[in-house]
Structure formats: C-alpha cells, structure tokens
Chain A
C-alpha cells in the first residue's frame, strides 16, 4: 500500500470515527453536569472510612487498589521488557574501564549549570520524599513522588557529575527497589488475607485524619509504589545508558 492510499484510507475512516464519536456523545451529559454516583459517594465517605483527605489516592490505593496493582505490574513488565531487549550481548570486562572516560568527555558544563543543578538535586530529593509520603493528605503520592525522585540522577547528570550519575543508576539497589516495590504491594495485599480479611483490605489502624501516619495501608502502599516507580525509572536509565556505551564501543572497533 502506498503512502498516499494509506493516508486517503485513514482520512475516510477518521471522518467515520469522528462521526461515530459525535453520535456517541448524544447521551453524555454536558461538561460540568456529571452525575456519576461512585465518585460522589466516595468523596462523601473516604475521609470517614479511611481517614484519608486525598480522595484520589484513597481510590487508587484502597477502593480500587486491585486495579492499581495491575497497573503496577504493567509498569513492571515494561521495565522488564526493556531490560530483556537491552541485555548485554557478551560484553567484555575490559570495556568497563573505557566507558567512564567516554561519558565524561561528552559533557562540557558551565559553572552556572553545575552549581544550579547541584543545588536543585538536593531540593528535589526532599521534595520527592515529601510528595511520596503525603499522598494520603494532599495531592501527590507514590507515583508522583517516585517520578520526582527518579529525575534526580538526571539533574546530577546535567550538572556534569557523570560519575555520581553512573553510581546512582548502576547501583544494584535500583533493581531491588523495582522488584521490592512491586512485590511489596502484593505482599501487603496478602497480609490482609493473613489478618482474616479480603485481599488488599485496609487492615492497619487508620490513625488520626490529617496525620502523616494515617489512612492505614493507603500510606504504606503509596510508599511501595514510590519505591517501585523510582526504581523502575532508574533501571530504565541504566539500561539505556548501557546501550549507549555498547554502541559507542562498537563504533570505535
């Protein structure tokens, strides 16, 4: 099929799709007039039932915790897929010393950038931890905090400190965080079974609404998610980094 035929075919089907979409919208209430019962009920009961003031996270890690567990494993599977595709193909040990020099050469950095980025890295660690730990109270939680923490090594890289970047992303702890975070979520669910409740039931004492140590398993799961997301993104960086190094080494040969 030529590019022109394909585009024509697409334009026809897109027009059809748009028409069907518009037709499907006939019975959808106009924006701002949503009357779905579930969201409304949850905003009414979540604070009392789960002592969590952030309803979105109460849904994510408790009411629909099973869904999020599935999402977690999509994340886990994609990271695993990248690792599998980028698995080292019989790389020699002597190459390891070479790569450090090559990466450092590639990065000339101005003083402003170096100082600014290093100051920013420290702030971002604190901010990421804060976001990950306060998910049950205010907007945030494990997903967001984990992503913020995972960007810290990139900021370090931008500051020209390639050695530290490498040390962070090649640390075996990143893999452990990735697996431990995903496993931890499932284990918390199983612990609920052992406590005599259903899978992923919130069986931990709920604490006082508004405290950091409140909302039972919501806060704990949020932290495990944060660990997994941060670990997952670091593993991704590590695999891409290894791939770049391998490619450069091949170019040199």
Chain B
C-alpha cells in the first residue's frame, strides 16, 4: 500500500529539497539549478499520476489500439516543459551574468539593493 504512494512522496521530497537549495543558496547559479530541480519534481508527479499498472508507452506503431497504456496526456504536458525549462534557465542565467556585471557578486545575500 505504501509503495503505491512512493512516487508522490519522491515528488514532494525533490520539490522540498529544491526549495531548501533556493532558500539557503550562496550563489545565483546554484539557485537557478535549484529552481530547475523544483521543476523536475513536477515531472515525477505527472508521470506517477498518469501511470497505469501493466501499461506500456502510448505509441501504437507496433501495438494494437486497445492495449493497456499509460496516460499520454500528462506526458504531453511535461514533454513541452522539458524544452521550455531549458530556455527559461538560459534566461535566468543571463540575468545572473548581468547581476554579476552590475553588482560584482553572485551571492544573493549581498544583492540587497535594487538598482534601476
């Protein structure tokens, strides 16, 4: 019984560790990576929700329609996100580069003053 909820627990675990990293981070690059980890937890959650016992991939190239397959909807949701996450990370990292140029540091503790 417990095992059936293990994947959900893993998702929560990954999410919270990522948040912990963001909160305690001493480096903006590290912080961006932590945000990516938080996002990764949603993949675990989505795939776990869509899983069907004994199901195979929802690709009917070589299996007949009607075979037990896992839910394709959640997979479609996370598939686009994987690529979008990559570019969003690039955007955040470019902000880190600029922050370093302007403030001369990548430690969020020292980035207290907002500069317009």
Q: Are B90 and A74 in contact (CB under 8 A)?
A: no
Task: Give the bracket for the number of chain A residues in contact with chain B.
Answer: 35 or more
Q: Are A71 and B76 in contact (CB under 8 A)?
A: no
Q: Are B61 and A25 in contact (CB under 8 A)?
A: no
The interface on chain B, measured as residues whose beta carbon lies within 8 A of the other chain's beta carbons, has a size of 49
Docked complex Cα distance between A138 and B81 (Å): 19
> Mostly helix, strand, loop or mixed at chain A's interface?
helix
| CB-contact partner of B87 in A7, A75, A243, under 8 A | A75
| A residues with CB within 8 A of B | 3, 6-7, 10, 14, 17-18, 21-22, 25, 28, 30-34, 36, 38-40, 42-44, 46-48, 53-60, 64, 67-68, 71, 74-75, 78-79, 81-82, 85-86, 137-139, 141, 143, 146-147, 210, 229, 232-233, 236, 239-240, 243
Which residue, A33, A56, A229, has most C-beta atoms of chain B within 10 A? A56
The smallest C-beta distance from B6 to any residue of chain A, in angstroms, reads 7
Docked complex Cα distance between A59 and B59 (Å): 12
Docked complex Cα distance between A236 and B12 (Å): 32
Q: Are A10 and B73 in contact (CB under 8 A)?
A: no
> Mostly helix, strand, loop or mixed at chain B's interface?
helix
Q: List 15 A-B contacts (CB under 8 A).
A: A3-B24, A6-B23, A10-B24, A17-B16, A18-B12, A32-B53, A42-B72, A47-B60, A47-B65, A54-B58, A55-B60, A139-B57, A141-B79, A147-B86, A243-B97
Q: Are B71 and A233 in contact (CB under 8 A)?
A: no
Q: Are A85 and B20 in contact (CB under 8 A)?
A: no
Q: Are A236 and B61 in contact (CB under 8 A)?
A: no
Number of A-B contacts (CB under 8 A): 156
Q: Are B72 and A236 in contact (CB under 8 A)?
A: no
Q: Are B87 and A14 in contact (CB under 8 A)?
A: no
At the interface, yes or no: B48 with Cβ under 8 Å from chain A?
Answer: yes
Q: Are B94 and A39 in contact (CB under 8 A)?
A: no
Contacts A7-B24, A78-B87 known; list 19 others, CB within 8 Å: A10-B20, A14-B16, A14-B19, A22-B12, A25-B5, A31-B51, A34-B50, A39-B50, A42-B72, A47-B60, A55-B58, A55-B59, A56-B75, A59-B72, A71-B81, A79-B91, A81-B91, A82-B90, A232-B87
Q: Are B91 and A82 in contact (CB under 8 A)?
A: yes
Chain B residues within an 8 Å CB radius of A42: 72-73
A10-B19, A31-B8, A71-B80 given; A56·B48 CB < 8 A: no
